[in-house]
Amino acid sequence: MRKRLLYEISKPVIAAVGVENVLRAIVESITLGTEAKGCSLLLLNPEGDKLYHRVSYGISPEYVNKGLIEVDENVRQVLSGKAVFIRDVAHDPRVQYPEAARKEGIASILSIPMRSYGGIKGIMRIYTSEPRDFSEEEIDFLDSIAELSGLVLEKEEEHDRLAHEAERVRGELRRLSEDRERFLQFIRMVAHDLKAPLAAVQSYIKVILRGSVGPVTEKQRTWLERSVKRIDNMLQMISDIVDLSKLEAGLIAPELETVSWNRVLENCVEVARGLADPKGVRLVVEIDPDLPEIFGSEIRLCQLVNNLVSNAVRYTPEGKRIFIRAFQDPDRVTVYVEDEGCGIRPEILPKIFDDFFKGDPEAQEGTGLGLSICKRIVEMLHGRIWAESPAPGRDIGTRVTFAIPKGAVCDLAYRERRKEDES
């Protein structure tokens, strides 16, 4: 119980003033409180065969630097947990440096083990300038102080270990970050090199479909149109991969500016009408006219809403509705896109924001990156995005909602900090 109590007492003191100051206060207080000449804390070296002065009070630098103390029988007795008192330093053969002690004016030495949870850390020594005795009560009290010193030193070792481990982890994170950046650069380069020839092939096919190089049969037209559509999907996937890599690497800084939520949503509504009208899907829009501004990327905010709208249109049957609603609370702006489609199966709902996840793996439309990109954009603005299916208060459809704090500033390094926190 004593050890635990001393440990609990030491924690707030160490936190307030630091280990070094606590140790210095201990040796000074013991010296003054016992009316001794001085006090020092001696620690074992890594090999465990010698002692060195960690901190002292009332002792000259010459005596402190006289040399390491060998772990002899006398020292081993203290390190085994027993206090050892030498009343007459000048004539006791157990003293390793009698001449240095005489020059320092030391008459008696009391050595007490510094215990801790991890074992005995070293020795506390009290030096007197006149021969004197210590009562059992005094030794027992000093033993408590020595134990407190041991616990403080153990706390210091723990802090050093944690600091060393933290530095190791930071180094590993830096290395991983550099590797990831090189990989993302490679992805962007490959994506660029793929996109140009694909776009050229698609252009050639469209020239053929127009009949510019000769007649095209219906069967040929069908296959050529399918090819154009597949190339469209591939080009979209390449664009999504490039966008994903930019968001991962925080490369959207040139896009950042003060953006009007209302302007973003107005643009997205126009896109939504262009997608919904040809399918016979009705659009219901309710947007607060006084939404605040936000510091971010208008391109990415439009991409965020357009991705949600595109998904909603894809899964909404003709004659059904899609809702786009935006409103503000005292501390955030909330936007949701809701459809009257078939909904999302409960077992896949938690996965829909994962990279490359597609509810129907056989579906040719979509890349499986749209919602994961949405999640990254929202998180960069310190917001949250989630999906509910069926839509709240209904038995059909899906509602995807995101909420972003007012005054949010786009954070390009949020993923690195999140990874550091998780580690």
Both tokens of residue 353?
């924001």
Burial of 41 (0-12, 13-18, 19+ CB in 10 A): buried
pLDDT digits (tens, 9 = 90+) for 211-242: 887 888 888 888 888 888 777 767 767 777 77
Point out the least confidently predicted range of 50-54, 63-67, 132-136: 63-67
More confident residue, 323 or 20: 323
More confident residue, 29 or 187: 29
User: Identity (one letter) of the amino acid at 187?
Assistant: I
- Binned at pLDDT 50, 70 and 90, residue 16 comes out as very low
- Binned at pLDDT 50, 70 and 90, residue 143 comes out as confident
In the chain, what is the straight-line distance between the N-terminal and C-terminal CA atoms, in Å?
Answer: 34
SS3 label, residue 183: helix
Q: Stretch 154-180: mean pLDDT, rounded?
A: 72
Residue 188: predicted pLDDT: 67
A 10 A CB-CB count for 13 gives: 15
pTM for the structure as a whole: 0.51
Judged against a pLDDT cut of 70, whether residue 133 lies above it is answered with yes
More confident residue, 2 or 71: 71
**Rounded to the nearest 5°, which phi and psi values hold at 162?**
-65, -40
Measured at the alpha carbon of residue 392, what is the angle toward residues 388 and 394, in degrees to the nearest 5? 115
- Asked if the peptide bond before residue 390 counts as cis, ω within 30 degrees of 0, the response is yes
Place of tokens 């949701």: 336
Measured at the alpha carbon of residue 227, what is the angle toward residues 225 and 232, in degrees to the nearest 5? 95
Residue 19: predicted pLDDT: 75
Judged against a pLDDT cut of 80, whether residue 18 lies above it is answered with no
Residue 420: predicted pLDDT: 54
pLDDT digits (tens, 9 = 90+) for 251-280: 677 788 888 999 999 999 999 999 999 999
Q: Do the first three CATH levels of 2-165 and 255-422 match, i.e. the same topology? A: no
Write the DSSP symbol of residue 214.
Answer: S
Residue 85: predicted pLDDT: 92
Residue 1: predicted pLDDT: 47
Percent of the chain at pLDDT exceeding 70? 84
Nearest CA to 144 out of 33, 49, 12 is that of 33
Phi-psi region at 266: left, alpha or beta (left = phi > 0; alpha = psi -120 to 50): alpha
Q: Stretch 357-378: mean pLDDT, rounded?
A: 74
Q: Is 196 within 8 Å of 264 (Cβ atoms)? A: no
CA 207 to chain centre: 52
Residue 413: predicted pLDDT: 64
- Asked if the peptide bond before residue 405 counts as cis, ω within 30 degrees of 0, the response is no
pLDDT digits (tens, 9 = 90+) for 279-338: 999 999 999 999 998 888 898 899 999 999 998 998 899 999 999 999 999 899 999 999
Measured at the alpha carbon of residue 67, what is the angle toward residues 66 and 70, in degrees to the nearest 5? 135
More confident residue, 24 or 414: 24
Q: Stretch 175-194: mean pLDDT, rounded?
A: 69
Distance (Å, rounded) from C-alpha 285 to C-alpha 188?
Answer: 37
Distance (Å, rounded) from C-alpha 109 to C-alpha 90?
Answer: 11
Judged against a pLDDT cut of 70, whether residue 172 lies above it is answered with yes
Q: Which CATH number fits domain 255-422: 3.40.50.2000, 3.40.50.10490, 3.40.1710.10, 3.30.565.10?
A: 3.30.565.10
- Domain ranges for the chain, please list them: 2-165, 255-422
Instruction: Please report how the helices 370-380 and 298-314 are oriented relative to each other, as an axis angle in degrees rounded to 10.
Output: 140
Nearest CA to 336 out of 394, 254, 417 is that of 394
Q: Stretch 1-28: mean pLDDT, rounded?
A: 63
Q: Alpha carbon of 379 to those of 12, 241, 308, 374, 405: distances in Å?
A: 36, 18, 16, 9, 11
Residue 7: predicted pLDDT: 47
A 10 A CB-CB count for 89 gives: 21
Q: Is 294 within 8 Å of 259 (Cβ atoms)? A: yes
Distance (Å, rounded) from C-alpha 172 to C-alpha 162?
Answer: 15
Fold of 2-165: Beta-Lactamase (3.30.450)
pLDDT digits (tens, 9 = 90+) for 53-107: 888 999 898 888 887 888 888 888 888 888 999 999 888 888 888 888 888 999 9
Residue 361: predicted pLDDT: 52
Residue 36: predicted pLDDT: 92
Residue 58: predicted pLDDT: 92
**Rounded to the nearest 5°, which phi and psi values hold at 248?**
-60, -40
